[in-house]
Structure 1
């Protein structure tokens, strides 16, 4: 079954077919679809970026059809493929023979479009006596190209001047170069560590997460300074709302407890024993 017979097409095939089907040549397109479905397109070949086809019409001899788009320059293709290589998902999909969903972004970023904007962007010729373009023979070839795009998305790139092999070879080289540069930078970073007399490679004991907060060695008292703050917890809390005759006595008692606990905490922190 041909792609133009079914409703669901790959997005890039739909993009290509839509340009033709939005034209005003409705009856001509119907005959073109019939020609494509009935096998009237006898052959489709590429001559560089140009499509050469033979279409059997009502005459005994098949008509000669040519179709092409303006190819991108080598410089434009270099920019496009370099942009593709910088998008890992694009590289992976293209190397797997798939057409990335947002591939048009790569061309737009370089001021280009992989698809023609109008039918006038397509240079088409047919040896039939019909002077209108597209004639039904050109339309049949156009539909057949949609089938080719479905089978191999890279065919649409060939219309712009680069074959599948050229694109994939360049992508692989760029990806290899990127990986080698990354490995070189990593190696340089490792070898740039300071070395010389007095340096040694010490074994590193892996830290267990459950031991992270444990420290069993005494603190060096010359490196630790523990000083009381200006306000104690009791100062911050203020007086306790008790009967006036007992409030002062309770506050004095709590102050004594606070000082005792603070002293014991200090001794414990310094790992000292009280004399």
Structure 2
């Protein structure tokens, strides 16, 4: 079963986390066991090996391994296509053998087709999952706070009629709070009291 997981991940283009264990169990190594197994040479005057230039190459190689782990196989002489085609051949051979041994799997009955009801397309009658419900914190700024007070069209005329922008803002704030509460209650499928 572990081999099937490795094969599936490799065929999906992913490198399994513990692929090195498979190589080690077979007396092989995907990665070098020690730095002495890696041959590197730089033309810089630094006598240390690896020098800072070779160290930079190792660093870039490490990044490249993260982007495409199959580069490891390329460095060992096998391309990604070689690996994947060999895996596909092994899986198809194993699949044919298993198919010969097993009986056919019964097909599930077809699903009933429900008539499409366009008028109910946007309706969702199930309660929302609790993780999807977001309740806005109390005391946060509302749209009306951000917009500020409403400028009067004609201040003299408004005062003559006894209307004030402050009264209008209070009314709109009440409407805004009421609508917000109704939206939250509706989202939570709770009846207003």
- TM-score of the pair, normalised by structure 2: 0.50
* Structure with the higher fraction of residues in strand conformation: 1
Q: Which has the higher contact order (CA 8 A, sep 6+)?
A: 1
